[in-house]
Structure 1
Amino acid sequence: MTNLEGKQAPQFTLRNENGDNVSLADFAGEKYVVLYFYPKDATPGCTTQACDFRDSYEDFSKLNAVILGVSPDDEASHTKFIENKGLPFSLLVDDNHEVSEKYGVWKLKKNFGREYMGIERSTFLINPEGEVVKEWRKVRVKGHIDDALTTLQEITKA
């Protein structure tokens, strides 16, 4: 997958944990979107990442940004994850991995000698004009949210 930085972000509409449709276009002209793709609800790395975003949620909000998580899990799984961890943002259902494929994060993965298709942890910062201003692929959770926040602070100052 080619680098999306500097390009228009692929448009999408996905269901959130409440079954409501959420589109990238909903935020056009108004908000920055921190779109993060993660493999699975309530797994160790994904929980740490979600909680780090939760703990920095106010800082992102002050910079006019909305956080959206995307995984193949269904609404019920997302709802339970949100309730268990007190997440203040929506999680979107990409059960057919169509959006993950558009963003180039649906990849062949290997784990303990087993190969399977799944999400490669990635984050995209999209400006109000719908352009990807920064992307992080193959994300390592530790320090990632701070990096994303710092990048957003620099962009919004410019």
Structure 2
Amino acid sequence: MSLEVGDKIPEFSLIDQQGNSFDSKDYVGKKPLVIFFYPKDGTPGCTKEACSFRDSYEEFTDRGAEVIGISADSESSHRKFASRYKLPFILLADTKNKVRRLFKVEKALFNLLPGRETYVVDKEGRVIMAFNNMGASGHITRALKALKSIS
């Protein structure tokens, strides 16, 4: 079962698309986070979701939030994906699915695909919204609505 509203997110660190180390401790206590787990760079649904986050990115940053996408793809794959679609946010390479397991993101489609889940986390590191849906739409509007509730 995935993390739920009210749960504190686990501490984690991964490498981003630029090869930089990302540590959740550097953000918790400072700003809200929008963390979305997605199956794979460049696939139709994931591209649609990532581009939707891109198109609404300013709305998230205007509310002080950091947007973070996480999949099992490599840093190199993330770099190409971000470049091709001009994605302005952090993409983290969870190549061993360590963070996916920490967040308890379940597999989808007969346990074959990595799940698609979005979390909105307040400044203190508590989950204020969790949305699990393989459809790419709905994640952005729900995340923005959750952010508005705390700002």
TM-score by structure 1 length? 0.89
Equivalent residue for 1:7?
7
Any stretches of 5+ residues in structure 2 without a counterpart?
none
Identity %: 39
Question: Which runs of structure 2 are paired with 1:40-51 in the superposition (5 Å)?
Answer: 40-51=40-51
Equivalent residue for 1:121?
116
Point out the structure with the larger strand share. 1
Question: Hey, what's the Cα distance between the residues in 2 that align with 1:4 and 1:76?
Answer: 32
Q: Tell me by how many angstroms 1:139 deviates.
A: 4.4
Equivalent residue for 1:150?
145
Question: Hey, what's the Cα distance between the residues in 2 that align with 1:59 and 1:2?
Answer: 26
Equivalent residue for 1:137?
132
Q: Tell me by how many angstroms 1:7 deviates.
A: 1.3
Question: Which runs of structure 2 are paired with 1:55-74 in the superposition (5 Å)?
Answer: 55-74=55-74
- What's the C-alpha RMSD, in Å, of the aligned pairs? 1.4
Q: Tell me by how many angstroms 1:45 deviates.
A: 0.4
Q: Tell me by how many angstroms 1:134 deviates.
A: 1.1
Any stretches of 5+ residues in structure 1 without a counterpart?
none
2:135 partner letter: R
Q: Tell me by how many angstroms 1:25 deviates.
A: 1.0
Q: Tell me by how many angstroms 1:107 deviates.
A: 2.1
Conserved in 2, the CA contact under 8 Å of 1:123 and 1:139? no
Q: Tell me by how many angstroms 1:143 deviates.
A: 3.1
Cα-to-partner distance string for 1:78-119 (whole Å, 9 max, x where unaligned): 000000000000100000001101111142643xxxx63x42
Which contiguous aligned blocks of 4+ residues in structure 1 show a shift greater than 4 angstroms?
A: none
Count of residues in Structure 1 that have an aligned counterpart in Structure 2: 151
Q: Tell me by how many angstroms 1:3 deviates.
A: 4.1
Q: Tell me by how many angstroms 1:75 deviates.
A: 0.7
1:128 partner letter: K
Conserved in 2, the CA contact under 8 Å of 1:11 and 1:25? yes
Q: Tell me by how many angstroms 1:4 deviates.
A: 2.4
1:57 partner letter: Y
Q: Which deviates more, 17-26 or 36-45?
A: 17-26
State the secondary structure of the residue aligned to 2:107. Answer: strand
State the secondary structure of the residue aligned to 1:134. Answer: strand
Question: Which runs of structure 2 are paired with 1:37-116 in the superposition (5 Å)?
Answer: 37-107=37-107, 109-110=109-110, 116=112
Structure of larger gyration radius:
1
Q: Tell me by how many angstroms 1:154 deviates.
A: 1.7
